[in-house]
Chain A
Amino acid sequence: MKRILLAVVATAAIVLVVHGCARRTGEESVQIKGSDTMVNLGQAWAEAYTKEHPDVNIGVTGGGSGTGIAALINNDTDIAQASRKIKGEELKQAEAKGMDVREFTVARDGLSVIVNPANPVGKLTINQLSDIYTGKTTNWKQVGGEDEKIVVLSRDKSSGSHVFFLEHVLREGDANGTEEYGKPVLMLLSSQTIAHEVAENPGAIGYVGMGYVDEARHKALAVAANQTSPYVEPTPANVVNGTYPIARPLYFYTPSKPEGTVKDFVDFVLSDDGQRIVAQMYFVPISSGP
């Protein structure tokens, strides 16, 4: 009996100590969670904002858009960053908790399709890209290159880019499309690993955010929406004027209409100062958009 009592007391003591340590008091804090694509951008905004508001604490974490939105639904974050739109299923879960989820487009991101500089191919249509990524086209000579096997690189499923590329390139924007990434497609961990592999491998093709393209090590392909439209280079200007076909918006989600510090921060992000940071981080600002 005494032993059990002691065990209970010891457990209670541990719980109390841990609980006490975890409690924080004082200054205001904003939690931002979500897309890995946007972590550095979010961090840059947070740094600029807290420089002006030293009393505010902003914590930015990655984990993926899905993680961010799940955290939003579980009330674990004030803002979810997402490189894809919130899904119907997730919206339903949020509504079930009485949330009134708000969406803000905070930046744009153009995906560059890159190949090794030694590769003679300089442009492709969306349709050709789709055939390469679904595995129908397997040799560079089928698209005007040399007789060499294509090593197809993609981001993994935890990436908003993966889903965006699937929907807008592989399925060519057809919501009922059933195309899938070919099974031999290599799923790499990050944009950085794709950039590295393309620079090393003359047969490789991959897609990365525009900020990852290094002219000395990669060649970014000009892309045409279809056979009759012009080939467009992935430049910020072409993303802004809407001619580059593989560009996507980046979002903030809040559980309700933002108030107080959160509202102030969102306003800052959407302001000219906030959008200047977007350009500095190699994304495309929305303010100059169409």
Chain B
Amino acid sequence: MAGKRRRITEVAVESVIRLSGLAAVIFVILIFLLLLRDGLPVFRYTGVTEFLFGRDWFPLSGKFGILPLILGSLLVTAGAVVIAVPLGTAVSVYIAEVASAPVKEVLKPAVETLAAIPSVVIGFIGFVVLAPYVKQIFDLPTGLTAFTGSLMLAFMALPTIVSIAEDAITAVPLGYRAASLALGATRWQTIRRVVVPAARSGIFAGVMLGLGRVIGETMTVLMVTGNAAVIPHAIFQPVRTMTATIAAEMGETVHDSAHYFSLFAIGLVLFVMTFFINVAAGIALRRTGGRR
């Protein structure tokens, strides 16, 4: 009897867990289907090429060219990566290899706490504090630029990158370091030539996941990038990202209108982009032996 009861509990727990696991997948699929349902109808009003490569985003007048938005997102993201990757790698090398145990105890949670700051707060800091400096230092007409967005987003990507990269660096077997040092290499040579290359796929995975966060980030870019839908030619100029467009315009559209569908289609494009980024990150993670 007791054995049977235990078996029932076992099965119950197992199915609840399985259900939770499946739910995540089902939600992703449902969201994707919703995006397809509400995004694809835009092509009744505009061609695919015209949508993806059009240079004019005037949805209120029926012009749905999202090229400036795609380029805006890519520019801000690229800027954030250029800032966050060296910084993130340096921080994780410091935490994993250089810092003493007490410093490490404080530093790692502190960096991870950065992830807990709401994006609207980061956006507000960027708008009120950073943007005036950017305007002044680079002598620009306005401080609301792609660069300002990149800088704030780099801070938001940092915790993800550091957390994963630091794990990867710590996971490099001690023997590698010992061997390198035994051959007469200095500590810096060991880090640069042995430890970081050995951990590179873990670092890469961290970068990709950070990237996924950055490209999907909405509130911060909405507040600091100026949202002008121009084809960007420089990083010190206002841009409009895809996420900011969706957030800023969804409120006022007539539901089931061409404009409404076009916003979902932007969501679809974004979904596909982040999907591939995550897949790439997954592949990179698997190469480190599935360690996180």
State whether A90 touches B251 (Cβ < 8 A).
Answer: no
What chain A residues lie within 8 Å of B128 (beta carbons)?
196
Minimum C-beta distance from B94 to chain A (A): 36
Contacting B at CB under 8 A, from A11-29, are 11
State whether A156 touches B19 (Cβ < 8 A).
Answer: no
Minimum C-beta distance from A12 to chain B (A): 12
Minimum C-beta distance from B216 to chain A (A): 18
Assembled-state Cα–Cα distance A196/B127 (Å): 9
Asked if A185 is an interface residue, CB under 8 A from chain B, the answer is yes
Assembled-state Cα–Cα distance A70/B132 (Å): 38
Asked if B222 is an interface residue, CB under 8 A from chain A, the answer is yes
Q: A7-B18, A187-B248, A200-B132 are in contact. Are A87 and B238 (CB under 8 A)?
A: no
Minimum C-beta distance from A184 to chain B (A): 5
Q: A151-B142, A180-B58 are in contact. Are A163 and B240 (CB under 8 A)?
A: no
**Considering residues A62, A180, A189, which has the most beta carbons from chain B within 10 angstroms of its beta carbon?**
A189
Q: Select A201's contact among B11, B142, B229, B240, beta carbons within 8 Å.
A: B142
Assembled-state Cα–Cα distance A4/B251 (Å): 41
Q: A185-B228, A196-B127, A201-B135 are in contact. Are A66 and B248 (CB under 8 A)?
A: no
State whether A7 touches B15 (Cβ < 8 A).
Answer: yes
State whether A186 touches B254 (Cβ < 8 A).
Answer: no
What chain A residues lie within 8 Å of B135 (beta carbons)?
201
Asked if B230 is an interface residue, CB under 8 A from chain A, the answer is yes
Assembled-state Cα–Cα distance A3/B254 (Å): 45
Asked if B141 is an interface residue, CB under 8 A from chain A, the answer is yes
State whether B15 touches A10 (Cβ < 8 A).
Answer: yes
Assembled-state Cα–Cα distance A186/B222 (Å): 11
Minimum C-beta distance from B122 to chain A (A): 14
State whether B252 touches A163 (Cβ < 8 A).
Answer: yes
Asked if A266 is an interface residue, CB under 8 A from chain B, the answer is no
Q: A10-B15, A89-B257 are in contact. Are A156 and B248 (CB under 8 A)?
A: yes
Contacting A at CB under 8 A, from B44-85, are 58-61, 68
Give me the interface of A with B, judged by CB distance under 8 Å.
Answer: 2-3, 6-7, 10-11, 36, 62-67, 69-70, 73, 87, 89-90, 93, 149, 151, 156-160, 162-163, 166, 178, 180, 183-189, 193, 196-197, 200-201, 203-204
List 12 A-B pairs, Cβ < 8 Å: A2-B11, A6-B11, A10-B16, A67-B251, A69-B254, A70-B254, A89-B257, A158-B252, A183-B68, A186-B226, A187-B227, A196-B127
Give me the interface of B with A, judged by CB distance under 8 Å.
Answer: 11-12, 14-16, 18-19, 58-61, 68, 127-128, 132, 135, 141-142, 144, 222-223, 226-230, 238, 240, 248-257
Q: A2-B11, A7-B18, A204-B142 are in contact. List 14 more A-B contacts (CB 8 A).
A: A6-B11, A64-B250, A66-B255, A67-B251, A67-B252, A156-B227, A156-B248, A178-B61, A180-B61, A183-B230, A184-B238, A185-B228, A201-B135, A201-B142
Closest 5 CB pairs of A and B: A64-B251, A158-B251, A187-B227, A156-B248, A66-B252
